[in-house]
């Protein structure tokens, strides 16, 4: 990438918030990178993209977009020209005209995946056993309790809205595949990464490695940024 200021924009997925990136922020800042978290509302794909675009509009220089889980659909839907690199962390990456739900349910669920259904308002909440056994099964009991208490539900509209032409067709893409993921099957992640032409780094981590294996995530991000810069 050009030698201008680089800002890494971290986008959380469903049942999470910006605090899910806490262990990632300081290590990136220590490398001289700017870091911003985009607090998307999880109300619809369109709403989430508009919030992300407002965040990006405030940033100068080159941008690296990082999306976890559902947020992969969000970072793929922006058209900001200053985005130089996309990094997917155990994420969903729908193609044009495809929904996040279609990708999410492409393979049979893991035996310990939670049963999910929307409430009367169309919002999907993660049950306690979901955090315990699937969302972040490698986390400490204390962290699982915090995740349950601070979860933000996702509206079913987010995963039912068809994606526009994704930015990953035009930009360099890296994909951190979570081989022990019980939410998004590793097979689905490999499929997505393959059709995206992504550079793949696969690790034996759970669905939320930014919480349970932050060093892995940081290492992949720094390698992606460095390699993209060398290729620019």
Could you read off the pLDDT of 114-142 as tens digits, one per residue? 999 999 999 999 999 999 999 999 999 99
Of the candidates 191, 41, 176, 206, the residue with the CA atom closest to the CA atom of residue 113:
206
Instruction: Please determine, for residue 1, whether its predicted confidence score (pLDDT) is greater than 70.
Output: no
What does the mean pLDDT of the chain come to?
96
pLDDT confidence of residue 214: 98
Backbone angles phi, psi at 176, to 5 degrees: -90, 110
- Percentage of the chain exceeding pLDDT 70: 98
Of 3-17, 97-111, 167-181, the poorest mean pLDDT is in: 3-17
pLDDT confidence of residue 232: 57
Residue with tokens 């793929």: 76
Instruction: Please determine, for residue 93, whether its predicted confidence score (pLDDT) is greater than 90.
Output: yes
Per-residue pLDDT band for 231 (boundaries 50, 70, 90) equals confident
Instruction: Please determine, for residue 2, whether its predicted confidence score (pLDDT) is greater than 80.
Output: no
Of the candidates 51, 148, 152, 45, the residue with the CA atom closest to the CA atom of residue 103:
45
The whole-model pTM stands at: 0.96
pLDDT confidence of residue 36: 98
């Amino acid at each position: 990438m050009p030698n201008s200021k680089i800002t890494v924009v971290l986008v959380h997925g469903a049942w999470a918030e910006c605090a899910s990136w806490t262990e990632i922020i300081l290590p990136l800042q220590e490398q001289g990178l700017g870091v911003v978290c985009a607090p998307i509302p999880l109300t619809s794909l369109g709403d989430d993209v508009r919030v992300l675009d407002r965040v990006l509009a405030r940033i100068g220089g080159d941008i690296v977009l990082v999306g976890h889980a559902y947020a992969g659909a969000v970072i793929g839907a922006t058209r900001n020209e200053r985005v130089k690199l996309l990094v997917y962390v155990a994420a969903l990456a729908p193609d044009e005209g495809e929904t996040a739900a279609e990708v999410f349910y492409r393979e049979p669920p893991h035996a310990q995946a939670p049963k999910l259904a929307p409430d009367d308002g169309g919002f999907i909440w993660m049950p306690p056993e979901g955090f315990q056994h699937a969302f972040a099964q490698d986390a400490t009991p204390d962290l699982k309790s915090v995740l349950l208490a601070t979860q933000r539900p996702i509206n079913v509209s987010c995963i039912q809205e068809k994606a526009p032409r994704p930015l990953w067709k035009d930009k360099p893409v890296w994909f951190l595949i979570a081989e022990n993921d019980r939410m998004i099957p590793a097979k689905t992640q490999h499929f997505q990464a393959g059709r995206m032409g992504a550079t793949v780094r696969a690790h034996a981590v759970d669905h939320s490695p930014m919480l349970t294996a932050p060093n892995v995530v940081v290492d992949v991000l720094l390698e992606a940024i460095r390699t993209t810069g060398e290729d620019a």
